[in-house]
Structures are given as structure tokens and as C-alpha cells.
């Protein structure tokens, strides 16, 4: 993300101007924009011709102008990597009435200005992350088994499934075995073309081919030959960056196994995705070994925090996107206090598999410094 200018103080009001350079940046922007923020960027507006009363149809023209809108609703579009900000217009101009509703679209390459009444520590943290160029490492993975493949791009903030390829492979039942090789070749070439189309070796650190059994090996051999057959230059020159890893299935949730593979970890150790997977794994380990030190659920996490017991706090960014200002303030305070007392806070991206998993168990979890067995089993009232 390119931040072109800024004028704000922590915990006070202010603004920033920036240009999102990638889908990850758009995701960061989505997490920064909150209800009541004022967002300004170039947009298209359809102007109705005001000369009504004439018998012919009212003509309208589309005008490009810069509008400032007070946000009432923010929506993220993963497909197009854009954000839509809906709200009332706060720009005084000829073309658009004050307080008329308008929807701004923010995307890659479009300059934006965001003005907030208060920039808290979580917002500041996110800006720092967004501006850090080293955190943009990507990983591509093909999870493959007989008859199923998922081609996935793991970015700094999001995991996107670029393609799911399914095929019915003949089983070894009597006559049906004929046609296995043909079916396999067809399946492999479909997967290969999805890989070629979506894996950009300039962005991606490595391509991991993963899965159970031997399919990953057979497919990697096929891919190498196909790259030569189809003259895919980038794939040919980058084949050294194709590595194989074992995974227990070809479903997307097995991606976490790929991210824990030692060879892969060595290459992507500093990425957010990898650290999130590790943190969640540590939480599950603790739950297996010493359950009174692994809490989840807002009420339990809060209770543990009040006793200053939190060593690691795991929380999804969805919690901070809440419209409930008081709730958000409370969680910001918790993250600041945990950090101050020497603990670690992991803000999981809900667009990664591990973030989704954390969401399923309420979005807030904590690894404690010491066990709290009575509290662990207690039924606490909802926050």
C-alpha cells in the first residue's frame, strides 16, 4: 500500500491518503473503514437531466468526480477485489446534493482518503502492516488427489481458491479400469492449465504440490513435461521453485498442513498466514495437553484477561469490524493491555483458513500463562 500523505495522531482524529496496490491492500482498507468515517475518492455519478416536464425522455449523463461520503455500510467483493462504501454525500458541489446517498467503489490503483474521528492502536497497527513491503510474500498451492484438485493462492491477508477441478476416475472394478490413464491425463491437463493461468511467479515465493499418496508426484512430473509441451516459459524457468509436500487430503482445509511443512515454512516463515496457522496450532496443542490453559469465547477470554492471565491472544479481524463502537473499544483496550503486560496478540485475517476456523469457535481465543480450571468449565454469561 502506498501511503501518499497522512495527518493524524494516535487516539485522535485525522486522515490518510493512500493507493491500494494489491488485493491484500484492499482487504486492509476494508478493515480500516468503519461506520461514520468519511471516505473520499474518485467515482462515477449518474446525473439526471433536471429539465423535466418535457415530453421526450429525460436524458442522463455519467460524470466522473471526487466525492466524500460518510460511511454507513461497507461491503467487500472478493471476486473483483473491491470495496463498496455506501453513505451520505458530504461534498458541497453542483452535481450532487448534500446528504444524497452514493456508493463509492475502492479498488486497486484508485487513490482514497479516509478521515476518522479516532485512530486507535488496532488501526495504526494495520496501517503499519499494510505499508510494510516485506509482508507481501505469496504462496501458491495445488492440493491434489485422484480426481480432485484445489488450486489456492495464499496472500498476506487472504487465501483465495483459484480453481477446483473434479473428475470421475475409473476404479478397479472389472471392466472399468480401461480408460484410467486417459482420464488421468485429461484431469492433469485441466489442473495444469489452471495453475498456469493463475500462478504468477513474480509474486509467488513457491508453488507447493501437496496431497496424500502418489498423485502429487505423478502430477509434478506431468506438469514439468506439460510446461515444455505447451511452451509455458515462466513455469519452465521457475520449476526449481516447485516443491512437493504431504497433506492428508486435497480439501482446502488441508492447506494448514502444507503451511506447517518444514521446507515450506523455511520459505514463508515471515508471512502472516504461516504465523496464524502456528498460533492456532499452539492453541489446539494447549487444549489437548492442558485444557485449563486454553480458553475460547468472548466471555471466557475476558474473564481470563481480567485476571491478567493471557499469554497469547487470538482474535479475528471480524471482531474489529463490528458496528458496535463500545465493543470495538473494549477489544482494542484488551489488545493494548495484553501487549503492555508482555503478551502477544495475533489478529487473524478472517479471509484465511485459520481465521475462518477461529471464527467458528467465536473468533476469540487465548492461551493462558497459568491454568484456571474452575473458570474453564464455568458457564459465563454472554458479554
Partner 1 sequence: METTETLVKEFAAKTRVGGDATAFAGYEASSAERAAYTSPEGGDVHVVILGHVDAGKSTLSGRLMYALKAVDDRAMHKNVRDSKASGKSSFAWAWVMDCRPEERERGVTIDVSMKRCVLDGHRQLVVLDAPGHKDFVPNAISGASQADAGVLVIDGAMGGFENGFAATPGHTGQTREHARLARALGLHSLIVVINKMDCVEYGEERFRFVVDALQNFLIDDVGFSQEQLTFVPVSGIEGTNISPDDAAALPDALASWYRGPTLVDALRAVKIPSRGAPKPLRMPIADIITEVRSLGGAACGGKIEAGSLMKGQKLLVMPANVSATVKCVEVDGIAVDFAPIGTSVDVGLSDVDSRHLEVGSVLCHASHPITPTDEIEVRVLTTDMLRVPLLKGSRVVLHSHMLACDATIEELVAQVDTVTGDVVKASPRCITREQSAILRIRTSRNICVEPVEISPTLSRVTLRMNGKTMALGVVTAIWRS
Residues of this chain that interact with partner 1 (CB under 8 A) are 146, 168, 170-181, 183, 212-214, 218, 248-249, 251-253, 257, 284-285, 287-288, 291, 296, 357, 359-361, 376-377
Query: All 3 cell numbers of residue 379?
Result: 458457564
- Closest among 148, 51, 38 to 104, alpha carbons compared: 38
Query: All 3 cell numbers of residue 297?
Result: 469465547
Least spacing, CB of residue 145 vs partner 1, in Å: 9
- Order across the sheet with 101-106: list the strands: 2-8, 14-19, 112-116, 38-48, 60-77, 82-89, 101-106
Give the containing element (helix H, strand E) for 63: strand 60-77
Q: Which is nearer to partner 1, 284 or 370 (CB)?
A: 284
* Burial 371-382, CB ≥16 within 10 A → b, else e: ebeebbeeeeee
Least spacing, CB of residue 348 vs partner 1, in Å: 13
Q: Which residues pair with 108 in a beta bridge?
A: none
CA distances from 23 to 147, 161, 225, 324, 347 (A): 30, 14, 32, 27, 18
CA atoms within 13 A on the CB side of 79: 0
Q: Which is nearer to partner 1, 74 or 367 (CB)?
A: 367
Q: Which is nearer to partner 1, 287 or 330 (CB)?
A: 287
Q: Which is nearer to partner 1, 20 or 211 (CB)?
A: 211
Classified as helix, coil or strand, 68 is strand
Least spacing, CB of residue 171 vs partner 1, in Å: 4
Least spacing, CB of residue 360 vs partner 1, in Å: 2
* Rg of the Cα atoms in the chain: 25
Q: Which is nearer to partner 1, 19 or 287 (CB)?
A: 287
Least spacing, CB of residue 182 vs partner 1, in Å: 9
Give the containing element (helix H, strand E) for 344: strand 344-348
Q: Which is nearer to partner 1, 32 or 280 (CB)?
A: 280
Q: Which is nearer to partner 1, 216 or 272 (CB)?
A: 216
Give the Cα separation of 365 and 359 in Å (integer).
10
Least spacing, CB of residue 304 vs partner 1, in Å: 14
Least spacing, CB of residue 248 vs partner 1, in Å: 3
- Cβ 275 vs Cβ 256: under 8 Å: no
Q: Which is nearer to partner 1, 160 or 169 (CB)?
A: 169
Least spacing, CB of residue 333 vs partner 1, in Å: 26
Least spacing, CB of residue 211 vs partner 1, in Å: 9
Q: Which is nearer to partner 1, 80 or 213 (CB)?
A: 213
Dihedral over alpha carbons 135, 137, 143, 149 (to 10 degrees)? 110
| Residue 292 DSSP class | G
- Closest among 196, 373, 206 to 292, alpha carbons compared: 373
- Cβ 331 vs Cβ 320: under 8 Å: yes
Amino acid at each position: 500500500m502506498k501511503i501518499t500523505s497522512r495527518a493524524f495522531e494516535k487516539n485522535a482524529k485525522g486522515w490518510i491518503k493512500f493507493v491500494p496496490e494489491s488485493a491484500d491492500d484492499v482487504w486492509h482498507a476494508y478493515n480500516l473503514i468503519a461506520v461514520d468515517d468519511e471516505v473520499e475518492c474518485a467515482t462515477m455519478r449518474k446525473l439526471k437531466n433536471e429539465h423535466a416536464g418535457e415530453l421526450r425522455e429525460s436524458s442522463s449523463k455519467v460524470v466522473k468526480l471526487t466525492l466524500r461520503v460518510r460511511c454507513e455500510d461497507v461491503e467487500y467483493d472478493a471476486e473483483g477485489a473491491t470495496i463498496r462504501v455506501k453513505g451520505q454525500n458530504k461534498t458541497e458541489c453542483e452535481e450532487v446534493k448534500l446528504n444524497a446517498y452514493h456508493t463509492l467503489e475502492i479498488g486497486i490503483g484508485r487513490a482514497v482518503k479516509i478521515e476518522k474521528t479516532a485512530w486507535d492502536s488496532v488501526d495504526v497497527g494495520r496501517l503499519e502492516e499494510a505499508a510494510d513491503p516485506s509482508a507481501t510474500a505469496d504462496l501458491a498451492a495445488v492440493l491434489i488427489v485422484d480426481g480432485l484438485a484445489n488450486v489456492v493462492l495464499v496472500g498476506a491477508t487472504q487465501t483465495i481458491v483459484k480453481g477446483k477441478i473434479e473428475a470421475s476416475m475409473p476404479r478397479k472394478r472389472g471392466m472399468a479400469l480401461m480408460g484410467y490413464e486417459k482420464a488421468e491425463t485429461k484431469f492433469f491437463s485441466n489442473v495444469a492449465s489452471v495453475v498456469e493461468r493463475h500462478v504468477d511467479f513474480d509474486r509467488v515465493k513457491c508453488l507447493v504440490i501437496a496431497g496424500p499418496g502418489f498423485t502429487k508426484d505423478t502430477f509434478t512430473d506431468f506438469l514439468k513435461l506439460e510446461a515444455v509441451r505447451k511452451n509455458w516459459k515462466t513455469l519452465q524457468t521457475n520449476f526449481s521453485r516447485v516443491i512437493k509436500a504431504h497433506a492428508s487430503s486435497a480439501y482446502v482445509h488441508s492447506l494448514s498442513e502444507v503451511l506447517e511443512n518444514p521446507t515450506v515454512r523455511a520459505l514463508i516463515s515471515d508471512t502472516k498466514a504461516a504465523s496464524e496457522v502456528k498460533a492456532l496450532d499452539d492453541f489446539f496443542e494447549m487444549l489437548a495437553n492442558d485444557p485449563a490453559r486454553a480458553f475460547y469465547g468472548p466471555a471466557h477470554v475476558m474473564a481470563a484477561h481480567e485476571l491478567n492471565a493471557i499469554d497469547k491472544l487470538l482474535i479475528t479481524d471480524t471482531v474489529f469490524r463490528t458496528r458496535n463502537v463500545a465493543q470495538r473499544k473494549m477489544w482494542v483496550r484488551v489488545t493494548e493491555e495484553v501487549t503492555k503486560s508482555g503478551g502477544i496478540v495475533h489478529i487473524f485475517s478472517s479471509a484465511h483458513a485459520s481465521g475462518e476456523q477461529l471464527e467458528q469457535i467465536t473468533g476469540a481465543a487465548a492461551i493462558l500463562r497459568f491454568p484456571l480450571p474452575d473458570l474453564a468449565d464455568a458457564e459465563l454469561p454472554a458479554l
